[in-house]
Structure 1
Amino acid sequence: MAETKVTLKLLIDTRRNRVLFAEADKKFVDFLFSIFTLPIGTVTKLLQKQNMPGSLYSLYKSIENLSDTYIQPGQDKDFLLNPKVANISGAKAPLLLPSVEHSYSGKIYKCTCSWNNCPYVSNVRRAICPSSRKKSLTWELRFVDPPSSSNEEAGFVNGLVTYMVMDDLVVKPLSAISGITGIKDVEAVEEKVVDLGLDEGVKLLKASLQSKTVLTDVFLRAETTGTGLCLSPSSIVNYL
């Protein structure tokens, strides 16, 4: 699968070397919101090569190194080490994180009980029906996503709006008034266009867990791709 790329426009205070805010479309905001769907095991696995702060990685490694002798019958360490991400119907965020496997295939199963009002379903084929205690759930049903006229309607936020993402990842609709806020010296402001791929997605995930200056940390204190353009005071007003 080709790597997804998302573009951001950063407004940078060059004198303080910090990002004032980013102008973003729905793809980037959908990615940020999708972070909340990640199990902690997935986050730990993704950040294991990023010098993850705290002790979660040590706990992760202890599970990985623990002999299967000490694991309860019927349990699997892989369930903890490689948890699958809940695939919320219709919320297809950009793939800016590697090796994230979704748990929901779009199939559900129900029991073949003789009565039609059995209330139990499962996304695991052959799960045991709690009503009959004998029959397994093997009758395949298909989950139907809500109607959508285009892929632009998938995700979490409206695609007709441009969003303002602050350095600490506060998200709100972009407006001229909100854009001017915090700009005290327009001559020191620079616009920079950057592209996000898998590498930047992982760095954003890590920075979001330990910093209040996420965009500055990722795009000004690390190597990025993009172009910078100094703006005049008049062009700042036109831009906003």
Structure 2
Amino acid sequence: MADKSTNNIELKVLVDKGSNKVIFIEPDNDFADVLFSFMTIPMGTIIRLARKHSDPVVIGCMNNLYASVENIDEQKFWIPICKDMLLHPHNAADAQCNLLN
């Protein structure tokens, strides 16, 4: 059995050598859990983090949409926290992701 304290990722890969293409990949459970946790990150968080990057990442029109929400006057919202909720969304699967170690 592999030592869990190492930083190795174990993958079983089936490759079609004739076409040099991957047919199947089987990760260990921990790796799969981490990949699935990435898919639960809200788009607002991804856009905000991408904009802070030294070479900003453009994700279609999402950057424009995020900037539009930033520029809306808080008076247009029912309560000021609504704008903050759009700009800093929470992960619905946060409790499950926190269990990943």
Shorter-normalised TM range: 0.5 to 0.7
* Inter-CA distance 27–74: structure 2 relative to 1 (3 Å threshold): same
2:58 to 30, 51, 70: 51
1:62 and 2:85 equivalent? no
- Of structures 1 and 2, the larger Rg is shown by 1
Query: How do 1:135-146 residues align onto structure 2 when only pairs under 5 Å count?
Result: none
- Stretches of structure 2 that go unaligned for 5 or more consecutive residues are 1-6
Which amino acid in structure 2 is aligned with residue 79 of structure 1?
M
* Inter-CA distance 45–8: structure 2 relative to 1 (3 Å threshold): farther
Structure with the largest fraction of helix: 2
Shift of 1:89: 4.9
Shift of 1:8: 4.2
Q: CA RMSD in A?
A: 3.3
Q: Deviations over 1:11-36 (max 9, x none)?
A: 44455453322231111211233245
After TM superposition, the runs of 4+ consecutive aligned structure 1 residues lying more than 3 A away are: 10-18, 43-51, 67-71
User: In structure 2, how many angstroms separate the alpha carbons of the residues matched to 1:46 and 1:73?
Assistant: 26
Query: How do 1:9-20 residues align onto structure 2 when only pairs under 5 Å count?
Result: 9=11, 10-13=13-16, 16-20=19-23
- With the length of structure 2 as denominator, give the TM-score of the two structures: 0.55
What SS does the aligned partner of 1:74 have?
Answer: coil
* Inter-CA distance 51–72: structure 2 relative to 1 (3 Å threshold): closer
Q: Is the 8 A contact 2:44 2:89 kept in 1?
A: yes
Identity %: 33
Partner of 2:4: none
1:75 and 2:77 equivalent? no
User: In structure 1, how many angstroms separate the alpha carbons of the residues matched to 2:49 and 2:17?
Assistant: 32
Partner of 1:84: 90
Which amino acid in structure 2 is aligned with residue 7 of structure 1?
I
The count of aligned residue pairs is 88
User: In structure 2, how many angstroms separate the alpha carbons of the residues matched to 1:16 and 1:22?
Assistant: 16
Structure with the largest fraction of strand: 1
1:24 to 14, 23, 27: 27
* Inter-CA distance 21–68: structure 2 relative to 1 (3 Å threshold): same
- Stretches of structure 1 that go unaligned for 5 or more consecutive residues are 95-240
RCO higher in structure (CA 8 A, sep ≥6): 1
- With the length of structure 1 as denominator, give the TM-score of the two structures: 0.29
